[in-house]
Amino acid sequence: MTLREAPVELPALQPTSGRPFGLYLHVPFCITRCGYCDFNTYTPAELGGVNPDAWMQALRAELELAAARLDAPTVDTVFVGGGTPSLLGGRRVATLLDMVRESFELAPDAEITTEANPESAWPDFFDATREAGYTRVSLGMQSVSPRVLGVLDRIHTPNRSAAAAREALEAGFEHVSLDLIYGTPGESDDDVLRSVDTAVETGVDHVSAYALVVEEGTALARRVRRGELAAPDDDVLAHRYELVDARLAEAGMNWYEVSNWSRPGGECRHNLGYWNGGQWWGAGPGAHGYVGATRWWNAKHPNAYGQLLADSALPVAGFEQLDAEASHTEDVLLRIRLREGLPLSRLYPDERERAESVIADGLLVPEGDRLVLTPRGRLLADGVVRTLLG
């Protein structure tokens, strides 16, 4: 049984003029828990009686409260993530967008994305969501290697991801993305290259590729700790990243963020909002929001989340106010990861001096009034940030 949580009162929120505004809707449902995943997701046995319709009713209530609290700013991007949104089916995912429109005005060119898993997204799902107004779909591919999928506890077959991507394109989606993971124990260079080539051959315009991270509390972490699997090796991860980057560049997909590649115009605008200091309201269990100088997070369990909204309270579990120094740190940390680079004007004088040593080390290159990571700098981006900030 989930304990009832006391509501946390947010301070006044005032969206900063001129910044993009997005909505993130978190779907907390999964059929099984992948061994590497530490996201706020729940299998049927963990839900405590919460069903999708009850969750959607609570989500509608949060969106109504959010719109009233913010005086309903125009929404530039919507991102439905999870969890597994495609488990809801096309009709329910279409209804989520209807709920957004009931409370907010969408910009005429709004980007509207849903995540989907290949094993639960079929032509009828893509047809329904495209007809509802979704413009972008992001599919969890991870790998085409059966042994890699097995280690990751993914339940889709190796060929299903590519088939789902083609079905999304045939349904008329303007933008389709495939997500890859590299560095899984037992994976080979050939596994990685076959996965990248398969993604490119589908005709999608966006690929994300992430190094496997062993998160504490996951089944993967327990297997590594018991010695059943080797921990990912940093040198191997760097090599695999270089393989991915080179292969995608050959195919006409260029990096625009350290872990993201696209054809021209295929960049994910919602994620660019995060990296470029945009603002968003995160709706759903465990979702995070950021408006003005306030970051907050919702109650994590769907039961506690729904109980707060049933009492007409925002489902906020906590918040923090970012001071100027914290905001500056995040600004440098996020913008340095972008292909367009970090504007020199964002750095303090002493940080500009330290940037000279990073340039001399071959990790940054000046491009006009910006600093851009070199290929080696992308592999060491966190270290670059630490040096800049001092």
Q: What pLDDT does 214 receive?
A: 86
Is the pLDDT at 43 greater than 90, yes or no?
A: no
Min mean pLDDT across 45-59, 182-196, 362-376 is at 45-59
Q: What pLDDT does 1 receive?
A: 41
Nearest to 329 by CA among 390, 257, 260: 390
Q: Give the pLDDT band of residue 5 (cuts 50, 70, 90).
A: confident
Q: What pLDDT does 242 receive?
A: 98
Min mean pLDDT across 32-36, 83-87, 191-195, 304-308 is at 32-36
pLDDT tens track for 66-110: 999 998 899 999 999 999 999 999 999 999 999 999 999 999 999
pLDDT (average), residues 165-181: 97
More confident site: 19 or 361 = 361
Measured CA to CA, the distance from residue 63 to residue 24 in angstroms comes to 11
Nearest to 132 by CA among 105, 106, 95: 95
Is the pLDDT at 2 greater than 70, yes or no?
A: no
Q: What pLDDT does 4 receive?
A: 66
Q: What pLDDT does 175 receive?
A: 98
Is the pLDDT at 38 greater than 80, yes or no?
A: no
Q: What is the mean pLDDT of the chain?
A: 94
pLDDT (average), residues 256-261: 98
Is the pLDDT at 28 greater than 90, yes or no?
A: yes
Query: Dihedral through CA 79, CA 82, CA 86, CA 88, nearest 10?
Result: -100
What is the Rg, in whole angstroms, of the alpha carbon atoms belonging to the chain? 21
pTM more than 0.85: yes
Give the rounded percent of residues in the chain with a pLDDT score beyond 70.
99
Give burial (CB, 10 Å; 0-12/13-18/19+) of 339. middle
Q: What pLDDT does 3 receive?
A: 54
Q: What pLDDT does 353 receive?
A: 96
